[in-house]
Amino acid sequence: MTRPAIASISVMAAAIVLIATAAFRSWSPLRVDKIPALASDTNPWPGDSFQELGYLAALAEIPLGLQVRGSRVNHRSEFRGEFLSGWFTARPVVGMLVSGFPKSPGNSLALELRNAQGEIRVFSFDPVNPGEDWQPWRVALPAGAVSFRIRAVDGTTDFNGWLAVTDPFVPSGRPAFQTQLARTFQAFAIQAVLFLTLGLPVGRCLAGKPWCPPPLVPLLAGAAVASLGYAAFWIYFAHPLAGRIFTWGTLLVSCGFAISGRRQSEPADRTLRHPLFLAALIALFYLALLLLYEPTRFSYTAANRFEAGLPSDNEIPRAFADRLWRGQSPRELWGDWQSSDRPPLQAGWQLLTWPVLHALGFDLDVSANTAGVCFQLLWVFAVWALVRHLGASARQALGIVAAIAFSGVLLEYSVFVWPKLAAAALVVAAYLLWRDERSGRPQLRFAIGGWCAALGWLAHGGVAFSLLGLAPLVLVWRSRVRSLHWLCALAAFGAVAAPWTAYQKFYDPPGNRLLKWHLGGEMGIDRRGALEAIADGYRKAGLATTLRNKWSNVRFQFEGRWPGLRDFDLSLKSTRLREGETVYTVRSWGAWILALLAPLLWLVRARPAPPAETRRALLELCWWFLGGACVWLALLFMPNTATIHQGTLVTQLLGPALLAVGAFQLNRWYFAALATFQAAWFALAWTPPSPLVEGRLLPAPALLAVICGMVLLALVWLGAWAEKSPGHRT
């Protein structure tokens, strides 16, 4: 039995075990083993100063049977004095869930132990402040301990001055009783198995199809899973029970197809193994860097680990999915955001695996965000397909994609789960399907390309800039592409997008807030249509102001504190350097900027040019990059707002990919040297914490990050010296 077959069987076996365990636990939930009071006739859990609902954290994340005492009484943060529990019987290991800010000045939380001689020993709460999250606190009691009690002090009136604690219990393997580090890696591993279970049967069906190039198989399998997520969104919207039945049924049917098709799976598994290996390696690398410093809630860590104070946009898809999961109206979704303001695809993707993670005891935040990481990692498959399209062999593509992974934008947007990278990846799939002239069934290819483009738009509307930027290439292709093919693409796009457009117009109107904001400068909420608001904005600004605004956005692409690159005092400058790499397009390319010299060096050194097919593919992708960027800069209304996150991340996939391939075509030593320099800079700039990240450096993720980084760098060098590919169809 070959290694791909063994890996495939292992994934299927793990999926079956997970689904069976989750199904059992959904009917038989875990019980909490509460620790009894030392004297049975006393109340060890008084509610005079600290009270039952005195906290600002999720009630649903407290296991059934646990009582809570917190100091944020009546939603007010004020001095509450001291909470002192009664005495509990000692156990070898004691666990509690803690929320709030017990380490803030004036506050404290401690466990007081008493031995047989009546001597008291104090264990103070040492981890980072949990904030609006529940964090487990485990204390191993010494052998001589007879009893213990909990002492909590609220000595501050600050808004973030409250704290809360549950009554003690004997810790078990339940995820809620584990650290955020352990929960995150476990949840991600489970999500990866479940999404592989959904995608592998599709990948096996696609492998060998005459209309589907082999490098596109992993990306199109991911698009198929995204389509299931889109279906899940609508079914949960209709009724949460129907949604649960759909997700459980989909997972079971996928397992059945995977098992029944195992004998025919070996060729497909060989096609999938390299990009899947890369995606898993990059995911572990990124998660290890994210969790390097004693993390709190995943969404908070992702918003503050690399840059301090990112907005809460990464929590909006989770809130949307949670409303549908509970059968509640998604209107008035998040602050002043309506549900129709943000596309629904990531919420549906999260709901695909939500029942399993929920049954296994994972909290909503880690479940939603690890699913979001899996969604964003579609960018790995997209860049893989792009690089193979440009003539790289499989080993060369491993090295090039591994080199691109040392990018601050890709790191941050893979873990801060705005659905931008996934949207870009799906649009790249559409482009490659439309561009591949050597494959058969053009009507089917163009229809599936339109389907993928619509999915990308339903993940994040910013990709519309890149879709509009394809217009010049469509004119160039008109002699080789029939109008009927584009009609097939438009029909598929409309069929996928129409339900969401109807939702925006009829269920939760108007759904055009972002259009009016970015294209017309209207940040308020009013009844005007998008075109009317945009026209009013330009009329009010006038021609001179409009031209200045456009030019400011063009210049904005080249900013980013370039003189600061000379300063290697990264303990002080790393946050600003990271901000520059995630805001300004040219600055985000890092060392790959030097690859812009590749065309000039070709002429100076008289090196043989790449094959004609590769040159044409490179040139067309460059035109697409420029077209999307020009549309973006031309349509954005307000000055100095053309940041990376307000545009299309297709540019962030095309730019580094084209530069890396150009450097590789010029000289392999040149490519490997640039990749090594970029990896070293990446390690220096992105390893330190940001000002809002507390905690100690954790050895486990540090070791994992070093190992994964070294493996990625080894892939770069192995790919640099791989045999040349005879053509981009290999």
Mean pLDDT for 24-36 is 71
Q: What is the DSSP string of 432-471?
A: HHHH--SSS-HHHHHHHHHHHHHHHHHH-GGGHHHHHTTH
- Asked whether the beta carbons of 206 and 165 are under 8 A apart, the reply is no
Residue 78's pLDDT is what?
A: 74
Six-digit token string for 5 = 């077959």
Residue 667's pLDDT is what?
A: 83
What is the identity of the amino acid at 523? M
Lowest mean pLDDT among 91-95, 139-143, 364-368, 694-698: 694-698
334: pLDDT strictly greater than 60: yes
489: pLDDT strictly greater than 60: yes
274-318 pLDDT per residue, tens: 999 999 999 999 999 999 998 888 999 999 999 888 888 899 999
471-485 pLDDT per residue, tens: 888 888 877 788 898
Please report the sign of the dihedral spanned by the C-alpha atoms of residue 425, residue 431, residue 437, residue 439: positive
Task: Let me know how many helices (H) and strands (E) the chain has, helices first.
Answer: 26, 9
How much helix, strand and coil, in percent to the nearest 5, is found in the chain?
60, 10, 30
Residue 404's pLDDT is what?
A: 96
Mean pLDDT of the chain: 87
> Given 3.30.1370.60, 2.60.120.940, 3.40.50.920, 1.10.3660.10, which CATH number is that of 59-171?
2.60.120.940
Among residues 155, 179, 171, 166, the alpha carbon closest in space to that of 78 is found at 155
**Rounded-to-integer distance, Cα 446 and Cα 431, Å:** 9
The separation between CA 386 and the C-alpha centre of its own chain, rounded to angstroms, equals: 21
Q: Exposed/middle/buried for 331, CB within 10 Å: 0-12, 13-18, 19+?
A: exposed
The separation between CA 542 and the C-alpha centre of its own chain, rounded to angstroms, equals: 40
Phi-psi category of 296—alpha, beta or left, where left has phi over 0 and alpha has psi -120 to 50? beta
Q: If pLDDT is split at 50, 70 and 90, which confidence band does 729 have?
A: very low
Lowest mean pLDDT among 173-187, 223-237, 407-421: 173-187
Q: If pLDDT is split at 50, 70 and 90, which confidence band does 6 have?
A: low
457: pLDDT strictly greater than 50: yes
The separation between CA 237 and the C-alpha centre of its own chain, rounded to angstroms, equals: 23
- Asked whether the beta carbons of 656 and 407 are under 8 A apart, the reply is yes
375: pLDDT strictly greater than 90: yes
pTM: 0.92
Which residues are CB-contacts of 390 (< 8 A; sequence separation ≥ 6)?
614, 617, 618, 621, 657, 661, 728
Where are the chain's structural domains?
59-171, 562-690
**Rounded-to-integer distance, Cα 717 and Cα 452, Å:** 33
347-363 pLDDT per residue, tens: 999 999 999 998 888 88
